[in-house]
Amino acid sequence: MSNERPWLANYPEGVPAQIDLNAYASVAAVLEEAFAKFRDRPAFHSFGKELSYGEIDELSRHFAGYLTGVLKLVKGDRIAIMMPNVLQYPIALFGALRAGLVVVNTNPLYTARELKHQLEDAGAKALVVMDNFGATVQQVVAETQVRHIVTTGLGDLLGLKGKVMNLVVKYVKKMVPDYHLPQAVRFRDALAQGAAHQAPKVELTHDDLAFLQYTGGTTGVAKGAMLSHGNMVANMLQAGAWIGTNAKEGEEVIITALPLYHIFSLTANGLVFTRLGGLNWLITNPRDMPAFVKELKKSRFTALTGVNTLFNGLLNTPGFDQVDFSRLHLSLGGGMAVQRAVAERWKKVTGVTLAEAYGLTETSPAACINPLDLKDYNASIGLPIPSTDVAIWSEEGQPLPFGEVGELMVKGPQVMQGYWQRPDETAKVLGTDGWLHTGDIARMDENGYVYIVDRKKDMILVSGFNVYPNEVEDIVMTHPGVAEVAAVGVPDEHSGEVVKLFVVRKDPNLTEEALKEFCRANLTGYKRPKLIEFRDALPKSNVGKILRRELRDEKKPAASAA
């Protein structure tokens, strides 16, 4: 593949080829600018309560004062944040970044084992946790370096209504198991104590770490991607330049349903839209689809980010088609492949094209995004964003010509510094030349559009032929009786592997034979599923990505191969 960067000729109007990396010294500098510029505008909304940019500024400053003035934490210390999407999240996040701390975003649904590994590995000294997950913390905290714990209830910043909510969550819904953390301080008390301390003036540069963002839990032990202030500023500017052509400063309302501890939501919603003066409408539990649709009906939202399963779930929820989409102009899918059947239904119901983007935790995360004025779904992950190089390499590490399939490689200022204390793991994916191995199989056309074929490790080998689960799933999803599907390879003595489908039915009368007949009409022989198993649900990650690995690893007897 030549180096002429064919994608630049196809950039949307107004998107620059390069970003000015020196526009901001740190993420904190971006926040300071937004707080000053949009002081009176609403910044975050949750359970009917709204906080303005000015209020978030003040509260996060108090939290920074608590971290440095009371706890005496210093620049570079690690703090773990273990909460769903609530108002406390941006306050803790922005306060920690302003104090020069390194944020360790922590999935609240972690088991004790996973939590212990992450806290130990990161060397976190402080932890902010919601009451619902305190019992998990209690099990492991003594075996970690965590010395300071801040706890908070779901309704803590919601006034009287919040007090009622906390009682209901604990005593009626029984969602808060008893826990004992005698050293813990309440979030509101931490803010009050911090208010008495001068907010720290911390000098931060592009080289300072902003996040240890853990990844790869699905491929073994989770590793902390070291994302510097430079990486994050770069990606905010790159994605911001792209989204900015489609967004109006100070007027956007973005639905934040993916958890802010996930890199996609963290950068796109939490940071890019904050820089644009947008209002983040926080959805605490997107799995409760009827309640989610009710929230959508209350907000005149303009933008929504999510993963394919989220869009699919909304489309299958009664009442979604009655939501007011008149202001919606940006629907962005990432985190997993967007399926054609879902994208086409989304366009039909909302009138807005579901644009696919691509990124990795290791690239802060955005690497490619589709033009946001795209007329229709195009099965591509889009074009490399400003200041980003993308290439397709052969197994031998040679660039391949357009149209050839190989490993997707990414290079740019958003590529991580490496994995925290894992030089061996870093060396496997990050070359001294700055190219990052993504582990994704892709091709690029002559216009610079990139198409993901599949994850390297998910590929199925049938009699020497490569079968890509994405393609099989895409076809099966077009069957009107299918709600969700996952395709995996299972061992077979004749062909090495065969395709097995796990299917959640939309039509309870759908049979194995009818689905096989459909696959015979739409897929070539070796791609057709030999085994089909119907399930009530498929295993998913915390953000709703279907976990093929778990299905592959199940030691269950194979379904009938009839």
Asked whether 286 and 314 are in contact (CB, 8 A), the reply is no
Which of 183, 204, 225 is the C-terminal boundary of a domain?
A: 204
Residue among 251, 228, 247, 229 at smallest CA distance from 239: 247
Q: Say if 182 falls within a structural domain.
A: yes
Instruction: Give the whole-angstrom CA distance, residue 369 versus residue 353.
Output: 13
Which of 167, 183, 204 is the C-terminal boundary of a domain?
A: 204
Q: Say if 272 falls within a structural domain.
A: no
Domain region containing 124: 48-204
Residue among 264, 190, 209, 220 at smallest CA distance from 76: 209
Q: Say if 370 falls within a structural domain.
A: no
Provide the whole-model pTM: 0.88
Question: Would you state the pLDDT for residue 514?
Answer: 97
Residue among 39, 59, 43, 278 at smallest CA distance from 157: 59
Phi, psi of 288 (to 5 degrees): -85, 85
Question: Would you state the pLDDT for residue 3?
Answer: 57
pLDDT in tens, the chain (562 residues): 445 899 999 999 999 999 999 999 999 999 999 999 999 999 999 999 999 999 999 999 999 999 999 999 999 999 999 999 999 999 999 999 999 999 999 999 888 888 999 999 999 999 999 999 999 999 999 999 999 999 999 999 999 999 999 999 999 999 999 999 999 999 999 999 999 999 888 999 999 999 999 986 434 578 999 999 999 999 999 999 999 888 999 999 999 999 999 999 999 999 999 999 999 999 999 999 999 999 999 999 999 999 998 999 999 999 999 999 999 999 999 987 888 999 999 999 999 999 999 999 999 999 999 999 899 999 999 999 999 999 999 999 999 999 999 999 999 999 999 999 999 999 999 999 999 999 999 999 999 999 998 877 888 988 877 788 988 999 999 999 999 999 999 998 877 899 999 999 999 999 999 999 999 998 888 899 999 999 999 999 888 889 998 999 885 544 444 3
How many H-runs (helices) and E-runs (strands) does the chain carry? 17, 25
Residue among 238, 265, 247 at smallest CA distance from 330: 247
Q: What is the DSSP string of 50-97?
A: EEEHHHHHHHHHHHHHIIIIIS---TT-EEEEE--SSTHHHHHHHHHH
Burial of 2 (0-12, 13-18, 19+ CB in 10 A): exposed
Burial 120-139 (b: 16+ CB within 10 A, else e): ebbbbbbbbbbbbbbebbbe
Question: Would you state the pLDDT for residue 558?
Answer: 47
Asked whether 283 and 290 are in contact (CB, 8 A), the reply is no
Instruction: Give the whole-angstrom CA distance, residue 97 versus residue 57.
Output: 12
Q: Say if 9 falls within a structural domain.
A: no
Q: Say if 355 falls within a structural domain.
A: no
Asked whether 50 and 44 are in contact (CB, 8 A), the reply is yes
Q: Say if 365 falls within a structural domain.
A: no
Residue among 355, 294, 296, 284 at smallest CA distance from 327: 296
DSSP, res 170: I
Domains identified in the chain, total number: 2
| Cis amide prior to 12 (ω within 30 degrees) | no
Amino acid at 320: F
pLDDT in tens, 399-412: 999 999 999 999 99
φ/ψ bin of 137: left (φ > 0), alpha (ψ from -120 to 50), beta (otherwise)? alpha
Question: Would you state the pLDDT for residue 202?
Answer: 96
Q: Say if 183 falls within a structural domain.
A: yes
Q: Say what angle helices 27-37 and 53-65 make with each other, to 10 degrees.
A: 140
Q: Say if 363 falls within a structural domain.
A: no
Per the listing, tokens 């979030």 go with: 187
Residue 511: strand, helix, or coil: coil
Instruction: Give the whole-angstrom CA distance, residue 104 versus residue 226.
Output: 10
What's the Cα-to-Cα distance from 401 to each of 201, 298, 387, 398, 423, rounded to whole Å?
50, 50, 21, 10, 32
DSSP, res 460: E
Residue 464: strand, helix, or coil: coil
Q: Say what angle helices 88-98 and 187-195 make with each other, to 10 degrees.
A: 40
Pull the structure tokens for residue 98.
Answer: 């302003």
Residue 155: strand, helix, or coil: coil
Pull the structure tokens for residue 38.
Answer: 């949009």
Instruction: Give the whole-angstrom CA distance, residue 74 versus residue 77.
Output: 6
Give the CATH number of the domain where residue 123 resides: 3.40.50.980
Instruction: Give the whole-angstrom CA distance, residue 281 versus residue 90.
Output: 12
Which of 204, 227, 245 is the C-terminal boundary of a domain?
A: 204
